[in-house]
């Protein structure tokens, strides 16, 4: 651990020196990036300082015990070390977690794509339930939800809905919290469309993509085909007669993104490009993960998007997360956005797996 601590301290010192360099003001982007990195490292540096201060005190006390002839002084030193030992143990565990390699996407905003799967109208209604769940979660966290594209059904469901979640200053980062939601969500209940009262099983898929800036990926204009068309609502009725909806195709990968929820063609194009960048980069990362083996797919929150991750069982008021084989009651409470307990359990399992991998 000491080698990692020394590396972190050196990095923090280098960042501080760069920020104190008068020439940094000539490069505002670099200054912002360094300031952000320094702020992220403040918590771990605080723990490192505590750890080193207590370690130094215990070392001094050990020297007193081994060299002093004054019995009372030796007893005081031994007593203080007995009190400090549990604190060192706690700090070591906290530092183990803080010093784990960070996911560079954790601080990013996200684009969420929800699509109805097996189950027809019922799956579309379940997709709407999931959208409401994440919208309520965002409300509780102080995040902002912006719908990018939606394809709704006449009975209040969504065949597809794509939206972004942004974290205003002072709120928790979104991707760090939301990345565990990607996968197939399954619901078991008596559907509103079922008159005979039978329990049906339906699914909806959720993809959570970190929002990608233009500087993060190079997409050339020559690789894009942009089509415009008139927006339409449920059942195909015209929403407006202007060609405001946009469809962008990334020719090299065949990735297609449509956006029609904005009122102007320009706004829809900007939103569609956000989704396109995130999808293209995610596909590249998924391809790389398959090339290097199963390590990434073994981690919580980074699995295949076709993986069944959670079941919402209404008759038994039970939610099961299949990745960690854990159950919770209070299904309606969770669908109202209260996901904290589930997310914490997933984060803890993710940390446990990463710690295990570090010790191998």
Residue of higher predicted confidence among 101 and 150: 150
Shared domain check, 306 and 194: yes
Shared domain check, 280 and 141: yes
Of 70, 98, 126, the residue that ends a domain is 98
What pLDDT is recorded for position 209?
92
Kindly report, residue by residue over 322-334, the tens digit of the pLDDT. 999 999 999 999 9
What ranges make up the beta strands (E) of the chain? 110-116, 144-152, 158-166, 183-189, 200-210, 224-229, 245-250, 255-259, 308-313, 318-321, 326-329
- For the residues 179-199, what does the mean pLDDT come to? 86
Which token pair is 22?
């008068």
What pLDDT is recorded for position 298?
47
What pLDDT is recorded for position 235?
41
pLDDT(265) > 70: yes
Shared domain check, 54 and 196: no
Kindly report, residue by residue over 291-302, the tens digit of the pLDDT. 555 444 445 555
Secondary structure (DSSP) of 224-273: EEEEEE--B-GGG-BS-SS--EEEEEETTTTEEEEE--SSSHHHHHHHHH
Of 68, 98, 128, the residue that ends a domain is 98
Note whether residue 236 is domain-resident: yes
Residues above pLDDT 90, as percent of the chain: 51
User: Hey, is 182 helix, strand or coil?
Assistant: coil
Shared domain check, 45 and 135: no
The whole domain housing 85 covers 2-98
Note whether residue 103 is domain-resident: no
Residue of higher predicted confidence among 178 and 300: 178
pLDDT(183) > 90: yes
Shared domain check, 47 and 149: no
Shared domain check, 327 and 242: yes
Of 98, 124, 155, the residue that ends a domain is 98
Shared domain check, 264 and 243: yes
Shared domain check, 236 and 187: yes
- For the residues 266-287, what does the mean pLDDT come to? 83
Is the dihedral angle over the CA atoms 256, 187, 208, 149 positive or is it negative? positive
What pLDDT is recorded for position 243?
72
CATH number, residue 280: 3.30.70.1660
- For the residues 15-36, what does the mean pLDDT come to? 90
Note whether residue 359 is domain-resident: no
Shared domain check, 127 and 12: no
Note whether residue 312 is domain-resident: yes
What pLDDT is recorded for position 197?
76
pLDDT(48) > 90: yes
pLDDT(254) > 80: yes
Please tell me the least confidently modeled range out of 77-81, 229-233, 282-286, 350-354: 229-233
Shared domain check, 270 and 137: yes
What pLDDT is recorded for position 127?
96
What span, in angstroms and rounded, lies between the C-alpha atoms of 22 and 326? 54
Residue of higher predicted confidence among 45 and 359: 45
What pLDDT is recorded for position 33?
86
Note whether residue 358 is domain-resident: no
User: Hey, is 323 helix, strand or coil?
Assistant: coil
- Domains held by the chain: number: 2
Note whether residue 360 is domain-resident: no
What span, in angstroms and rounded, lies between the C-alpha atoms of 60 and 77? 8
Note whether residue 104 is domain-resident: no
Confidence class for position 187, pLDDT limits 50, 70, 90: very high
Note whether residue 256 is domain-resident: yes
Shared domain check, 115 and 159: yes
Confidence class for position 266, pLDDT limits 50, 70, 90: confident
pTM to 2 decimal places: 0.73
pLDDT(236) > 60: no
What pLDDT is recorded for position 237?
43
What span, in angstroms and rounded, lies between the C-alpha atoms of 125 and 297? 30
57-83 burial by CB neighbour count: b if 16+ within 10 A, else e?
Answer: ebeebeebeeeeeeeeebeebeeebee
Shared domain check, 339 and 249: yes
- For the residues 330-344, what does the mean pLDDT come to? 96
């Amino acid at each position: 651990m000491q080698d990692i601590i020394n590396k972190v301290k050196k990095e923090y010192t280098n960042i501080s020196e760069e920020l104190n360099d008068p020439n940094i003001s000539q490069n505002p982007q670099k200054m912002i990036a360094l300031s952000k990195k320094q702020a992220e490292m403040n918590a771990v540096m605080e723990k490192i300082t505590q750890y080193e201060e207590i370690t130094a005190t215990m070392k001094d006390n050990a020297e007193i015990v081994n060299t002093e002839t004054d019995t009372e002084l030796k007893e005081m030193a031994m007593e203080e070390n007995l009190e400090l030992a549990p604190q060192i143990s706690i700090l070591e565990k906290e530092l183990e977690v803080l010093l784990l390699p960070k996911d560079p996407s954790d601080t990013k905003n996200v684009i969420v794509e929800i699509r109805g799967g097996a189950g027809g109208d019922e799956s579309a209604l379940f997709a709407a339930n999931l959208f409401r769940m994440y919208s309520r979660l965002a409300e509780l966290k102080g995040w902002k939800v912006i719908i990018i594209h939606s394809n709704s059904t006449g009975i209040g469901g969504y065949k597809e809905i794509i939206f972004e979640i942004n974290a205003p200053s002072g709120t928790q980062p979104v991707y760090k919290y939301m990345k565990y939601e990607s996968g197939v969500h399954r619901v078991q209940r008596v559907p509103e469309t079922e008159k005979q009262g039978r329990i049906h099983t339906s699914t909806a898929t959720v993809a959570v993509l970190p929002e990608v800036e233009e500087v993060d990926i190079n997409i050339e204009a020559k690789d894009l085909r942009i089509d415009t068309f008139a927006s339409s609502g449920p059942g195909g009725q015209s929403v407006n007669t202007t060609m405001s909806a946009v469809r962008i195709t990334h020719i090299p990968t065949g990735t297609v993104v449509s956006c029609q929820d904005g009122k102007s063609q320009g706004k829809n194009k900007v939103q569609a490009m956000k989704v396109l960048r995130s999808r293209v980069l995610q596909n590249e990362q998924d391809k790389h993960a398959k090339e290097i083996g199963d390590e990434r797919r073994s981690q919580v929150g980074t699995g295949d998007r076709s993986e069944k991750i959670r079941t919402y069982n209404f008759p038994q008021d039970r939610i099961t997360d299949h990745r960690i084989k854990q159950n919770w009651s209070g299904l309606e409470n969770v669908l109202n956005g209260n996901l904290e307990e589930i997310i914490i359990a997933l984060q803890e399992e993710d940390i446990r797996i990463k710690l295990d991998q570090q010790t191998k």
